[in-house]
Amino acid sequence: MRPARRLFRSALLVVSLSPAALALSGGCESGSPPTDARALNPPQDEEEIREHGNGLGAAEHGGFMQSAKDPWKYAPPANAAWSMISPMSIPRGLHRAAPITMGRVLVAGGSNEFGPTPSAEAYEPALNAWVPIPPMAKAREHHSMTVLDNGDVLVAGGFSGMLESSAEIFSVDTDTWVSIPPMDKARSRHTATLLDNGRVLLVGGMGNAGVIANSQIFDPFNGYWPNPSFPSTARMGHTATLLGNGTVLVVGGQNSSPLSSAEIFHPDTNSWSATSPLSTPRVGHTATLLFDGRVLVTGGFDSNGALDTGEIYEPGTEKWSAVAPMIEKRANHAAVALSSGKVLVMGGSMGPKVSSTAEMYDPETNEWRPGGMLGVARESHTATRLGNGKVVIAGGKAEMATLASVEMFEALPLASPCKSPSDCLSGYCADGVCCNEACEAGPCDACSETAGSAQDGVCTILDGSPCDDKDACTKVDTCEKDVCVGKSAVECNNPPPCKVNVCEPASGQCKLQDLPDGEPCSDGDQCSLMDSCSGGMCIGTAKKCEAFDICHEPGACDMNNGMCSNPDKPNCELPEERPPKPTFDATATFCDKGEQCPSGFCVDGVCCDSACNKICHSCVVPGSEGKCTPAPAGTDPRRQCGFEGSCGLTCPGTGEEKCVDAFAGSECSPNQCFFDGIHGATAATCSGKGDMECSSADRIPFNCSPYRCVGTFGACSTSCSRLHDCAEPYVCSPEGKCVSAPAISSGYASSCAFAPAAERPRNSVFAFLLGALLLARRRPRNRKQYE
């Protein structure tokens, strides 16, 4: 039984708000409110901290924050897929980043406690170092950065202490900046999207006269800005995503408040059209183009704060649909589509706090799973995916500082050691290795050779292997395909009445539990009726042995057999005129189960023409034995309207399936056959007015001799088919009648039915006991209720 070994199974993706990364995914740029957090260049050692301090009382570097009085330490993230790399030369947030030639990452602009900066630098992966780049002509934050078709980088607008209309291009061949003609309007917090024709669409932003309601296109082939076009809504802090058909989806942002509206730009006609709005207004969100052409929008702020909601846009229908909420609320975060098709989001503002978590969205399952921990909590950072699939996360804002730290996310291949799904390119971590699928069949699958897999990284079903179903009440557990099946269950001894003996899965021990109150039970006392459970005890109502006619006394109940003694009254004679004794149709066929009946239905102890499961119907109604017939008015043959001795409800006799109020003369106890199998008494009836009582005073005794009294009907048979259908000393004739036994010469009897009494030794005792057994077998109701 292999011990538990489950790890998170989810994919981890990298998120980016960098204009460069945004340009890669369709030019999306996230707006971020200005911050006055201060920071200095990260000190390099303890001596530098002591000499210069950092102006904040804390230093930030490599994922570790601590007092400036303490020695500098490096603390890498705990995840295998996340690692701290060389920091930038200066702290910066609200900057922009883009992938350029030779696998490098260009970072430019942003701001720190000194304000907006023109500085630029490039990360060299081969050296794990940042290389200085000549500064831009203008300091900028909240600008846009777009990689052009030739690999050069366009930077436009932003805030330098004033709103900028200037623009410049970084040449990847010479690592220099070249100024170009300005835009028609100064703007920041706008978007810049590379179109299929190689031009760049700039939309909205904050201008000198307020939020801008126009767009402009940069033509890199001629180096100028053609005449602008005009979307219907002025917006800033929005997103813009290039769709598969070459149009651009512009979503959300803010004007005087967060917006839910969305528009489509058509490059072929230089025109705009409205599309379906978001369900929730948002600004500071992300928009990520999925591999199937849809667009995932996540997080941001609405008027009430940070959001955890997301929506997906379907270009074919131009409709939005909600997705599962993120694990955390976040805005000014970053989002990136990985090569696995999953989307990683990271960091961002949670409101008063800044997030250090990442999570991954799977479009196929509409699920979010944990994506590991960043080395440093950050918002307004950049995340740039390189050609090899790695992602560089740079700078940003913390709660009390602007950051220079940089970390890298690298999804690991199959079979690599992992700690969480975010470590793996597949998005699945099982048995400590990156797996090709979720491998979530519990103990009946494995993805590492040490756990039983045929190959590291390949999920294998352990069919037929021992397992542990976590149920101690099963002794032998075996994998049947992908399910752990427990067998050889622990047997718990028979419990006392009103108890159930249950095996506890945690311990494998049997424990008595009370049955629910009202559950039928048997207390073993034949002299109690209506036994039911109460508080784990079986409690019944004492049987009353009332006189069954005027010539008998009330008696005592024999607890061994439930019979009442009812001694005779001395010098008492019954009236000579009595009603005829009750009889039943002798053609009825007695049964114990449906297989004994041609119809397949054994009901009320006889073969019946149907299941007869209707209220106030019976298969033993006198004169209609074997047919499902409405019970006569004032009777309740199945005790469906009340227990025996009750005068509350009875059957109406109309064929309706309901109970009605009992009336004087209603049967409250049916005809009874006595223990000798020959005598019986008619039904007890309800008497009085209002709250009527069940009285046995009007019971009339009867004698079925020469036939027997059959308990199923509480009546006398009128024919026989065997010896025991007759009372002693009568026998069953070939004609089916009980007659006196004929005198037969000694020797032997030619017929069992006609054997004389002298030749049937012990016949009296045998017939008496057999009759009792026959009555007990044939009666469908609880004997205690009818005796």
Confidence class for position 549, pLDDT limits 50, 70, 90: low
Contact partners, residue 86, CB within 8 Å, separation at least 6: 123, 128, 129, 130, 406
Q: Give the per-residue pLDDT at 755.
A: 40
**Mind giving me the DSSP string for 343-392?**
EEEE--B-SSSB--EEEEEETTTTEEEEEEE-SS--BS-EEEE-TTS-EE
Weakest-pLDDT range from 71-80, 252-261, 407-416? 71-80
The separation between CA 482 and the C-alpha centre of its own chain, rounded to angstroms, equals 20
Is a pLDDT exceeding 60 seen at residue 18? no
Is a pLDDT exceeding 70 seen at residue 318? yes
Q: Cα separation of 76 and 407, whole Å? A: 9
Is a pLDDT exceeding 50 seen at residue 346? yes
CB 486 within 8 A of CB 466: no
Q: Looking at per-residue confidence, does 523 or 330 come out higher?
A: 330
Residue 672 has, within 13 A of its CA and on its CB side, a CA count of: 26
Is the overall model pTM greater than 0.75, yes or no?
A: no
The separation between CA 325 and the C-alpha centre of its own chain, rounded to angstroms, equals 16
- In Å, the largest CA–CA distance within the chain is 142
Is a pLDDT exceeding 70 seen at residue 763? no
Is a pLDDT exceeding 90 seen at residue 780? no
- Provide the pairing of β-strand 58-61 with 693-695: unpaired
| 478 membership: H or E segment, kind and range | strand 474-480
Q: Give the per-residue pLDDT at 411.
A: 85
Is a pLDDT exceeding 60 seen at residue 23? no
Q: Give the per-residue pLDDT at 423.
A: 83
Q: Give the per-residue pLDDT at 49.
A: 25
Q: What is the mean pLDDT of residues 502-508?
A: 92
Per residue in 573-621, pLDDT tens? Answer: 766 656 678 888 777 888 989 999 999 999 998 999 999 999 999 999 9
Is a pLDDT exceeding 90 seen at residue 157? yes
Is a pLDDT exceeding 60 seen at residue 771? no
Q: Cα separation of 468 and 482, whole Å? A: 13
Per residue in 351-396, pLDDT tens? Answer: 889 999 999 999 999 999 888 899 999 999 999 999 888 999 999 9
3-state secondary structure of 451: helix
| 606 membership: H or E segment, kind and range | strand 606-607
Q: Give the per-residue pLDDT at 207.
A: 97
How many CB atoms lie under 10 A from the CB of residue 191? Answer: 33
Q: Give the per-residue pLDDT at 655.
A: 92
CB 14 within 8 A of CB 391: yes
Is a pLDDT exceeding 50 seen at residue 533? yes
Q: Give the per-residue pLDDT at 25.
A: 35
Confidence class for position 547, pLDDT limits 50, 70, 90: confident
Q: Give the per-residue pLDDT at 79.
A: 53
Q: Give the per-residue pLDDT at 610.
A: 94
User: Which of the listed CATH numbers 1.10.645.10, 3.40.50.460, 3.40.50.170, 2.120.10.80 matches domain 283-411?
Assistant: 2.120.10.80
Weakest-pLDDT range from 118-132, 207-221, 542-556, 720-734? 542-556
| Domain limits, the chain | 283-411, 516-564, 594-630, 666-740
Q: Cα separation of 385 and 690, whole Å? A: 89
Q: Looking at per-residue confidence, does 113 or 758 come out higher?
A: 113
Residue 221 has, within 13 A of its CA and on its CB side, a CA count of: 4
Q: How high does pLDDT run on average in the chain?
A: 82
